[in-house]
Amino acid sequence: MTTKTFDPVAYKETTRSQWEAAAGAWHVWGPVIEAWLGESTDLMLELADIGPGDRVLDLAAGAGGQTFAAARRVGPTGRVLATDISENLLAHLDHDAAAAGLTNVTTRVMDGEDVDTEAGHFDAVISRVGLIYFPDQHQALLGMREALKDGGRVGAIVYSTAAANPFFSIPVSVIRERAELPPPLPGQPGPFSLGAPGALAEAFTAAGLVDVDVRAVAAPLMFPTAEDCVRFERESFGALHQMLAGLDDDAREAAWGEVVTRLRAFEGPDGFVGPCEMLVGVGTKPGPA
């Protein structure tokens, strides 16, 4: 099995490049993503108490489904700043915001670990399935807290455990085995890096957030067939492509074939229903002592 030292700089550059390449596919799959993550998104925005007139910072905004949901909540007197490391993703977000008439949305290329905004400016900072992929999650959360007004809230959506998310953990395990990759070390970024019981709450608390609330939400990923789910993952999930980088084309196809075979276990009368559980966490920036 290959043993490599984790290089956060190289990881981040690879991630950026992959999202630049996958931006078009992520945008095309937008309706599927919103159907899948809509309930979790609504809960995050509700728990973060986002309402009319609020200023919201969205980190790792991607194609912007949660950005637009926040923008509709804050209304014309509020603002949402959507940020991502991928300029291509933000170009799609800009286009869709304009098409929807959401003039209260602006975008900026930004590294989520280096929150470059005015301190104490935002009522809420949100991140949907983004925090888990930051190499330094603690630094990111400190930046999120710094960007908040006193009493403002951080909201994040992450995957729970690998066992509760076989639609994703099966591809990860198949690819990891075929690519002879070692398991991630504690503290490394990845889809399940904040999924262990108590991990998300502990990360929020360590960053100085209080009144932390974490809730689990069932979010099954539904398609006609397992092949459709795998096509979605192949086109949209940059982390899987990063893991496959060391294999040749034939080996990659063989890996994907095994993934399809194993995911067929979740096909039934209603089509493919891939088990998925998200965690929605919120925490509050305390005021002066």
Q: What is the pLDDT of residues 184-197, one digit of tens each?
A: 787 889 899 999 99
Average pLDDT estimate for 129-152: 96
Instruction: Report the range of poorest mean pLDDT among 99-108, 126-135, 174-183.
Output: 174-183
Output the CA angle 76-155-40, nearest 5 degrees. Answer: 90
* pLDDT tens figures, 26-51: 899 999 999 999 999 999 999 999 99
**Alpha carbon of 196 to those of 112, 186, 201, 219, 261: distances in Å?**
22, 11, 10, 17, 27
Joined together, the tokens standing for residue 241 give 């492509």
Tally of helices (H runs) and strands (E runs) in the chain: 10, 10
Single-letter amino acid, residue 133 = Y
DSSP string, 115-175: --S-TT-EEEEEEES-GGG-S-HHHHHHHHHHHEEEEEEEEEEEE--STT-HHHHHHHHHH
CA distance 178 to 23: 26
Residues 204-224: b if buried by 16+ CB within 10 A, e if exposed: beebebeebebeebebebbbe
Single-letter amino acid, residue 142 = L
Single-letter amino acid, residue 49 = D
CA distance 227 to 139: 38
What does the pLDDT read at residue 187? 81
CA distance 56 to 38: 18
* pLDDT tens figures, 221-240: 999 999 999 999 998 887 78
Closest-CA residue to 239 (of 101, 140, 129): 129
What does the pLDDT read at residue 4? 61
Q: Any idea which residue has 């981040």 for tokens?
A: 12
